[in-house]
Structure 1
């Protein structure tokens, strides 16, 4: 398996990692089989989160069987305060059946207010630093769908890794990755298949790995077949030829007519709707088949797609000319 160093962390990781969202759909026995298959295929990086329902617990069962020492383990938490993060770190350690976690990340920091809270005196970052000093975690990272937040994180000196969506249709972070790499931060690519929207997984992964600033891509997988297919990209790594590049870029262009890159330029919505997150939940529902989980998270939004009054202000700001009003109607029809 092709390996790269995750920035200055010193962690040598497989270029294909394991995204822990879809494992929620399988039972304990199947989860153990999946983790064992990762080891067989040379995939040594696993990324999960407290918010992925039973993902940590299932992965923990698999690690116990396949050998914790064979893997570099990352998880993350949505809590923003000091005590909440202290509690979540302990829960993660218990769930994952491990004495330490290689990388613990602040999960999906979305706004400047959230960012300022997590780095503040009573913020989650303080708890992560304390846990690192005690050896409970080895490295600290941050994830977001907002370029501005990660730009702050990169320049702060507080973090060792970043995680952001990247694929042939979502390329807005290329300069961000370059800057992160120059400062020694590791780059983790989430949504390498655009949340399941890209059908040609192999070409998408190979496209991503051509970027020298990327450390690892973490497609979500819930079957042995998916693991073997995706692992083959790293085990038999080769660059795209002209025909393959033309094929994947053509698919990206087609998706671009109704695909949100979560750049955030559509904000602010007069109705207070977080537009990119509406599309994110719809993607989890329709493409990841995480219907109950997506509906539960969507129900927690204060302002939903159904609150759209079709003023159209968002569409005038969208750099990709997306039919946002039409897309929000679709979300409302699916999620309520």
Structure 2
């Protein structure tokens, strides 16, 4: 599989990476299956794994930790804090390290930054940014990151305030058409030397009928890697087949793809861009 630079970090990561949110009971994946899927992914060249304490109340982290026993040195682990305070974030990190059975994570992210108000809270005197800096100083985390699904202007402001190493952002072919991270955020992040990780590639399965096109679209963007959630060996093999034989999408292919899927660009299909998850109106960002 193609290996690419992870921003200015000096790391090399595979084109395709592993979103571990789905290796849980909630997605009908057993512990035994989860361990097998993760180890097969490593055997096939996937070395970057993304998880979070909020995924199935820690079960994602727990299972990833089990699967990586004896192989921790082969991979990079990214996890997150959804708490906006220093103390709350450090508590989450302590719990994450226990579930992951490791003494450090390679990346720690501010999870799903939606509004300037949330960003301001993270940068307050007792905000989560303090936790990120302290954890890095103590060697508990190696690199610092941020993620966002909804409003690219919030992340533009975030990376103007702080020198994050990477950002995890929604970059499906449908995301291109409303509050797109590809338009302003990605070029600015690249200018700053940040690694960019794509997510929401299949729009929660809504692009399943265009599986290969959807994955090729995101992998063709100027990013370091893209995480894809996988809950079965079948899904892993399907994703690997595309990534191992990857050819960038041409402009004509991209245009034809957009024409086929444009009717799906709705708040119901893109709930992370809706005013409230499940609503029929778009998020309204502050002017």
- TM-score, normalization by structure 1: 0.76
> Shift of residue 158 of structure 1?
3.5
> Shift of residue 254 of structure 1?
2.7
Output the CA distance in 2 between the equivalents of 1:246 and 1:162: 26
1:40 aligns with 2:38: no
> Shift of residue 154 of structure 1?
1.5
Quick one: which of 162, 173, 176 aligns to 2:181? Answer: 173
* Alpha carbons 1:45, 1:72 under 8 Å: kept: yes
> Shift of residue 31 of structure 1?
1.0
1:182 aligns with 2:187: no
Range with greater deviation from structure 2 (152-161 or 179-188)? 152-161
The corresponding residue for 1:157 is: 162
Change (3 A) 1:43 1:126: same
> Shift of residue 259 of structure 1?
5.0
Quick one: which of 75, 82, 95 aligns to 1:78? Answer: 82
The corresponding residue for 2:4 is: 4
RMSD of the TM alignment (CA)? 2.3
Change (3 A) 1:59 1:250: same
Cα deviations by residue, 1:18-50 (Å, 9 ceiling, x for unpaired):
112211232211111011111122111110111
Output the CA distance in 2 between the equivalents of 1:158 and 1:242: 32
Output the CA distance in 1 between the equivalents of 2:108 and 2:264: 33
The corresponding residue for 2:211 is: 201
- 3-state SS of the aligned residue for 1:237? coil
* Alpha carbons 1:42, 1:231 under 8 Å: kept: no
Counting matched residue pairs gives 274
Higher helix share: 1
Output the CA distance in 2 between the equivalents of 1:31 and 1:150: 32
Change (3 A) 1:253 1:23: same
| Equivalence map 1:16-31=2 (5 Å) | 16-24=16-24, 25=27, 26-31=29-34
* Alpha carbons 1:169, 1:194 under 8 Å: kept: yes
* Alpha carbons 2:172, 2:217 under 8 Å: kept: yes
- Runs of 4+ aligned residues of structure 1 deviating over 4 Å after TM superposition are 241-244, 257-264
> Shift of residue 260 of structure 1?
5.4
Output the CA distance in 2 between the equivalents of 1:139 and 1:216: 16
> Shift of residue 233 of structure 1?
2.4
Q: Which has the larger radius of gyration?
A: 1
> Shift of residue 243 of structure 1?
7.3
Cα deviations by residue, 1:35-91 (Å, 9 ceiling, x for unpaired):
1111122111110111002100011111115x1111111011111111111111111
Choose between structure 1 and 2 for higher RCO, CA contacts under 8 A separated by at least 6 residues.
2
* Alpha carbons 1:41, 1:228 under 8 Å: kept: no
Higher strand share: 2
- 3-state SS of the aligned residue for 2:203? coil
Output the CA distance in 2 between the equivalents of 1:248 and 1:70: 36
- TM-score, normalization by structure 2: 0.88
Query: Any gaps of 5 or more consecutive residues in structure 1?
Result: 265-274, 280-304, 309-313, 319-336
Change (3 A) 1:44 1:276: farther
Quick one: which of 234, 239, 246 aligns to 1:225? Answer: 234
* Alpha carbons 2:203, 2:269 under 8 Å: kept: no
